Structure 1
Amino acid sequence: MSPDRDPIREAHRQWTRHGWADAADGMAMVTSVVRVQQLLMERIDAVLRPLGLTFARYEVLRLLSFSRAGGMPMTRLGSLLQVHPTSVTSAVDRLEKQGYVERVRRTDDRRVIVASITDAGRAVVETATEGLNGQVFERPGITPEQVASLTELLGAVRAEAGDRVD
């Protein structure tokens, strides 16, 4: 294979050649989505790494900063972020060690642990958001019309998989 040749197109060609033509387009689509996710994560990490954040921790901070009280129960965080409770606990542990989040037990129900954003957490999430907006979200690499179309198409894939898409 030529180094100038698109490896995903080559994989599609090979899939077809080996008798999997019915799956070749889907394989190419899935592989393309995975590759684009890797490319976008490289751009995201370039913004967040200098701030000591991962995208998962950024999402926790951004969600907490959007809440009226600046905090929410850990179980609610996991539900809104659509991740396993262990992932939320891990992210909050790291954010707490960094001084960006505090854990407090609710006074009306001591079983409920609330993650609350600190002033330092608010400052870093604003810096991170400014960087992500300017370097990633405002310039994703395709036109605004393509962004809207792709988002709609990906929504259809999510809906088919049972993900909530309203």
Structure 2
Amino acid sequence: MTSNNQRPSYCTFKFLTVVFLLFFMPACSSDTGSSGTYTINYWVATNGSDQASGDSDNPFLTLEHALDVIRANGNRGICTINVNIKAGTYRLSSPLKLNAGDSGAPGAEVVYQAAPGESVVISGAQQVNGWILHDVDLNIWQAQVNTDAMPRQLYV
């Protein structure tokens, strides 16, 4: 006769472990790298949208949004996560602050990379627009500059 207070058997433990793995592993895509680990791929493009899914056909617009999505992803540290950045210049209005958790785990890294064959620039610079010709004879141009930023350097 068995009691209802018995501890679960080893077979029950194994079964629950398999169910747990089957539940979480499909969230990692079937793409496997050379190491055999599962991979999630996100994409960012200058013509993307932060309301998009982040796949190659519907990329995110900003690196900041990709970072937020990855931080919320329960598979971070379980699957390798690649952020593939399509060609273009990405202007940051504030620093992209990363911490140790943003790098993933051994064998399940988070990698930010230019898409294959593409050239990417990530810039914290602010563009100066609205140039007007101030003095035609001396060829002097002027533009309003945001003094709140108080840049130490100005390149024209």
Structure 1 length normalisation: TM-score? 0.28
Structure 2 length normalisation: TM-score? 0.29
More helix by share: 1
